[in-house]
Amino acid sequence: MNSLHLKNLLVLLILSHGFALRSSATEIINSGPSLSVVQGDAASFNAQFFDADGNGGVDIRAVHVATGQTIGQFVRSDDTGDLQWTCDTSTLPTGTNPVQLIATDPAGESAVVSISLQINPASSVQQWRQTHFGSSQNSGAALNSADPDGDGLNNFAEFAFGLDPKIGNPDVGNRIESDAGRMKVMFRRRKDYQSAGLNYIYEFSNDLQGWEASSFSPQVLSDDGTMENLTLEFPMLSNGQTSRFFRTRVE
């Protein structure tokens, strides 16, 4: 166990080959006092503190070294000395953020523990999860395969088609329209589909049994910054017969 002594003040951080920093949204990335978290998720750790004159007199702060600002919030028990620090990382810059945990006793003596807070950029799907579920983690109701609104579309599909995973709506935006006697399909996809690692496959069928992928690239009609509206002409034949149906698959 590691401890810092300053007169009557004793600050303890639980150790296990380094600081044992624990949180469902935090990863222990090495044996030292480091936290790694996706930007926008909460970073937190557990610790213990003790002051011989009574824990109630100990002032504890977490200071962002670069700005000098106090960040995060503490939940503490003066009876047991248990301490939990939680910090909203949405306003912190990505990269390494040195943080100091400062405990000061009533006499003004302080003990300082340095923590390296690594903020990692959130991907588009992680940002989407944060918006709808409050965390970037692919777990629980936010699991890719989960369907929290029960509309038959899992979260992966809801993300791919720009839908709200908490409002039942199985409409992915596919439409069939006639243009000068030719049939066209209208549909949506994410504008950042390539960086998001999404592969949209456009397929046609004449009987809903056999499906054939289109060999043509869709035309982008418009976008709202997040989703694109596209069109693709119906092929004359699908599996050797007249095309009648269209679907979009996402991998």
Residue 165 maps to a domain: no
pLDDT at position 52 is 63
* Domain of 212, in residue numbers: 175-250
Indicate the average pLDDT of the chain. 81
Q: Using the predicted structure, report yes or no on whether residue 45 has a pLDDT greater than 90.
A: no
- Among 135, 160, 185, the domain boundary falls at 160
**21 versus 151: which is more confidently predicted?**
151
**53 versus 108: which is more confidently predicted?**
108
Give residue 24's pLDDT band: very low, low, confident or very high (50, 70, 90): very low
Q: What is the pLDDT of residues 176-195, one digit of tens each?
A: 887 777 888 999 999 999 99
**CA dist., res. 121 & res. 100, Å (int):** 22
Q: What is the pLDDT of residues 57-107, one digit of tens each?
A: 778 888 999 999 999 988 888 787 777 888 999 999 999 999 988 877 777
Alpha helices in the chain (DSSP H): 124-133, 155-160
150 & 183 share domain: no
Overall domain count for the chain: 3
Q: What is the pLDDT of residues 189-229, one digit of tens each?
A: 999 999 999 999 999 988 899 899 988 899 999 999 999 99
Which tokens go with 46?
A: 């557990």
Q: What angle do CA 85, 90, 96 make, to 5 degrees?
A: 75
Residue 201 maps to a domain: yes
Q: Give mean pLDDT, residues 114-130.
A: 94
Residue 76 maps to a domain: yes
pLDDT at position 222 is 95
112 & 129 share domain: no
179 & 87 share domain: no
Nearest to 87 by CA among 38, 139, 121, 30: 38
pTM recorded for the entire structure: 0.78
pLDDT at position 33 is 63
**CA dist., res. 132 & res. 204, Å (int):** 33
Helix (H, G, I), strand (E, B) or coil at 60: strand
pLDDT at position 237 is 66
Q: What is the CATH number of the domain that holds 59?
A: 2.60.40.10
9 & 108 share domain: yes
